[in-house]
Structure 1
Amino acid sequence: MQGKNHPDVGTTLNNIGIMYDQKGDGRLDLKYIQKGLEIMKKSKAPDLSRVALLTNVANAYLDVGTLDVALNALDEAKEFLSKQRFPQFYLIAYLNDTRGKLYLQQGNMDKAGEMFERAARGREDVASGKLGSLDESGR
């Protein structure tokens, strides 16, 4: 029994963070999402659960302008995704979309546009049953 360190507790804290994000409270959003990630790490939650949460963490850090921490979370999420036996295209699209937001904040409009386009294509591929890719170069 994992009690307060159960992965579902981490997921619930993440959801509370998302709620605060929707309310426009970035401080509380970040607080709850960070707590959720800590629990997911302690509980040895499945990698795919961590990918979604790490991407949420990256988005929360982007919202407060902490780009280096956001990039680290995205890189960690990408590492988990690269180890999957079967590509998780919906998570790849979410990751690409968030990376596009990071590039946008850095002022790199070309890279931002590229990542947003990749996210859109990935979502279209998921909807039509086609394959997608994780690599920024299209591989």
Structure 2
Amino acid sequence: MKIPANAHVAVVDGERFVLMRNAGTVADAKLAHVDDPSLDGEDESGAHGHNDPRSDDYRTQEKLDHAASVASWLNRAVLQHRIESLIIVADPDTMGELRRHYHTALQDVLVGELAKQLTGMPGPDILKAIEAA
């Protein structure tokens, strides 16, 4: 998958959220760490309104809530025009919950998704995984 110049890359799992940006070009992408966004005040609830047998588990519910809060943060950043193109990388469970909360504006700027656990990996390894997808 090609990463457009200046595109943001959100790397998410059930506990972490890292935001990067392509500081290079499409042909020579270079991911630069932008932020570890604060989710304070997001307080979104994951698994709300659907029957997920896993949501009875406290740890699983926290992970679903985290994903919903990340989606809320990304939605707001897109609506405020702070993110104009976006790639989301998340483990499959987190990706599924994120998708449930996408605003249509976020869907419009979404360049791609990669359902893979990559949090905690260095930027060059994340870049390689995205480009190989």
Instruction: Give the TM-score taking structure 2 as reference length.
Output: 0.30
* Larger RCO (CA under 8 A, 6+ residues apart): 2
Q: Which has the higher strand share?
A: 2
Which one has the largest radius of gyration?
1
Instruction: Give the TM-score taking structure 1 as reference length.
Output: 0.29
